[in-house]
Amino acid sequence: MSPRSSLISPALFDYVAAHAPEPDDVLRDLAADTAAMGRVASMAISPDQGAFMGLLARLVGVRFAVEVGTFTGYSSICIARALGPGGRLLCCDVSEEYTDIARKYWDRAGVADRIELRIAPALETLSALPADEAIDFAFIDADKTGYLGYWEQIVPRLRSGGLILVDNTLWSGQVVDPADTSDDTVALRAFNDRVSADDRMESVLLPLADGLTVARKL
């Protein structure tokens, strides 16, 4: 289906998955097609993570959502299905190849009319958004060295009470390994420190999937 969490045992992962909402045929087929792509499939979110994101989006009452990093579209379907009446989702990605798969599944899921995809560097897309168009919900799951830049573009545009979710913030546990000085790991450590110190937001870092940060605008 999709990559297992590296933070819990396979048996416990299966137990959690068995108690999460069952993905429908569209999401199951998408997960299977993504898994068949080989190593890049690790960029996909897990079904329990998708269910959690959808639940949060419904609780917030999202009308305008932003996703940075769409890949093959699992997370975007979960968000789009949770949008309020008239809601829309802006997806930012740089890959036509991967998002062509997403487009196909958006059509199957019946959410294509709620999603706008922009193929361009996400910082360009985000910085061009009107300052007075409030974002209700955002999901960041793209290049790790870009996380701080995306955060700083989204937070000022986020409405009070709005949410930002950020994936991979525990990075297979590498964030606590001082021997790991790779660019991605160093960037994630700096990002996590910035988020926890950001007085515009309240946040928690959850050991869900590969680490999921959930932050709310004060």
Arithmetic mean of pLDDT, 61-72: 98
Q: How many CB atoms lie within 10 A of CB 94?
A: 15
The amino acid at 121: P
Q: Whole-model pTM?
A: 0.95
Can you give the pLDDT at residue 6? 66
Q: Is residue 2 part of a domain?
A: no
Q: Is residue 41 part of a domain?
A: yes
Query: What gap in Å lies between CA 195 and CA 192, rounded to an integer?
Result: 5
| Mean pLDDT of all residues belonging to the chain | 94
Evaluate if residue 1 carries a pLDDT over 90.
no
Q: How many CB atoms lie within 10 A of CB 110?
A: 12
Q: Is residue 212 part of a domain?
A: yes
Would you tell me the crossing angle of helices 47-60 and 10-18 to the nearest 10 degrees? 40
The amino acid at 82: A
* Interval 34-56: pLDDT, tens: 999 999 999 999 898 999 999 99
Give the total residue count for the chain.
218
| CATH value at residue 175 | 3.40.50.150
Q: Is residue 71 part of a domain?
A: yes
**All residues at 6 or more sequence positions from 179 whose CB lies less than 8 Å from its CB, including other chains:** none
Determine the Cα angle at 159 with ends 156 and 164, to 5°.
75
**All residues at 6 or more sequence positions from 173 whose CB lies less than 8 Å from its CB, including other chains:** 6, 7
The total of structural domains in the chain comes to: 1
Domain around 197: 10-217
Evaluate if residue 2 carries a pLDDT over 60.
no
* Interval 106-160: pLDDT, tens: 999 999 999 999 999 999 999 999 988 899 999 999 999 999 999 999 999 999 9
Q: Is residue 1 part of a domain?
A: no
Q: Is residue 5 part of a domain?
A: no
